[in-house]
Amino acid sequence: MTIPTLHTLPNGVRVVCDPMPGLETLALTVVAGRGAAYEDPARSGWSHLLEHMVFKGAGGRSARDIVEVVEAQGGQINAATGYERTSFQIRALKGGLPLGVEVVADLVRRPTLDAGDLAREKQVVAQEIAEAADAPDDYVFDLLQKGAWGDHPVGRPILGTVDSVEAATPEALSDWRASLYAADRLIVSATGAVEEAELLDLAQKAFGDLPATPGAPVPEPAPFVGGSFAETRKLEQAHLVLMLPAAGSRDDDYFALRVFAEALGGGMSSRLFQEAREKRGLAYNIDAYADTYADIGALGIYAGCAAKDAAQTAQVCAEQLLALVERIDEAELARCKAQLKAHMFMAREQPLARAEQAAGQALTFGRLFSPAELAAGVESVSAADIARLGRRMLDPAKAATAVLGAKSALGAGEIFRRALFGGQ
């Protein structure tokens, strides 16, 4: 059995190698442990814009050259920007690691950032912002983000605004790139048909000379402020998102939060699915989820329902949450643990998800976790932990709610809040 390894280059860049014997493919991700949470209002959306721009040309290759050289070897290339990280990802056939590292290193270190490309890409991002605003099941989460985290960068959309994106210049983006992709929070993570010696050699050549200067400082954790946002829109459904403050990834209650979310709305046997959909027919889509960052986190509930049913749906969500805080029996607890472990381990069987997970562990904890450790964390959660976490989430009497739909649905957030906290 192979064991994943974590190495640190002299300049601080970390390298994760996680071979998966028997695979004919590999996954490579280079993760910069900074994202939209590091932006001030004037640079809102710049991390995402920069992620777009590096694909317009890098290392002497044009935008077309970048994708063609990867796809010519059977590979796929992608990227993603989040609040705490930016990832550049390649899937490739066995033997594709040297080209993958070379291409991604060019994206991270040697983008062209041409002024003409930037002007065109600003238009593309403006359309992406408009598309998100037109998609109610996307836009409602932007409303919720603001309601939960207020004026902190985590409360702003990752895409930024048209005005903030328009203000970016090639020179300013170049400075932001050096700050965002600095060596101190850069992870090179490869999984699948990879060999440790080759990966370390390639990483050293590609990133070993990156200056060991610190990048943008880690922002203060966002306080959960809570608040209600509701907008009238002519839609066939009302979209509800309801949220309570909870635990971050480094919190002792992290696994309890994951189990709590699973019990409340994680699957077809969950309380919300059974009560709101199966028993009452209130919603087709209803689920609960753990939204976690390194030091902050929340429990969220999403429901799409008819406007006339929004109030009742919010009431049911509150009632089921309160009932879970009061009691979970051993059979339900065991079922939720089994489902959560299955989700975690199934993801580990996908090379890219596995490489991203390892990079996240290295960034957040400075170490890697074995499957046995993750399973033990899940298994350690008790009924008493569920109750204690529930009281912790309810104690501040703060909730963030977002409702999008017909006017008759807009009071659902207040109904949820009153059902949980009474007249507070």
Amino acid at 337: K
Q: Where are the alpha helices (DSSP H) in 115-195?
A: 115-134, 136-149, 162-166, 170-180
Residue 263 DSSP label: H
Instruction: Report the Cα 424 to chain-centroid distance in Å.
Output: 32
Task: Reduce the DSSP state of residue 8 to 3 states and report it.
Answer: strand
Spatial contact of 206 and 105, defined as CB atoms under 8 Å apart? yes
Q: How far apart are CA 361 and CA 85, in angstroms?
A: 12
Spatial contact of 158 and 48, defined as CB atoms under 8 Å apart? yes
- Which class for 127: exposed (0-12), middle (13-18), buried (19 or more C-beta within 10 A)? exposed
Spatial contact of 49 and 36, defined as CB atoms under 8 Å apart? no
End-to-end CA distance of the chain: 56
Spatial contact of 306 and 237, defined as CB atoms under 8 Å apart? yes
Instruction: Report the Cα 318 to chain-centroid distance in Å.
Output: 25
Angle, vertex CA 128, rays to CA 83 and CA 109, nearest 5: 55
Closest CA to 147 of 74, 252, 253, 228: 228
Q: Which one of 39, 51, 84, 121 is the catalytic residue?
A: 51
Burial 328-362 (b: 16+ CB within 10 A, else e): beeebbebbbebbbeebeeebeebbebbbbbbbbb
- Any catalytic annotation for residue 51? yes
Angle, vertex CA 36, rays to CA 34 and CA 37, nearest 5: 80
Strands 283-292 and 5-8: unpaired
Spatial contact of 184 and 212, defined as CB atoms under 8 Å apart? yes
Burial 41-76 (b: 16+ CB within 10 A, else e): eebbbbbbbbbbbbbbbbbebeeeebbeebeeeebe
Catalytic residues: 51
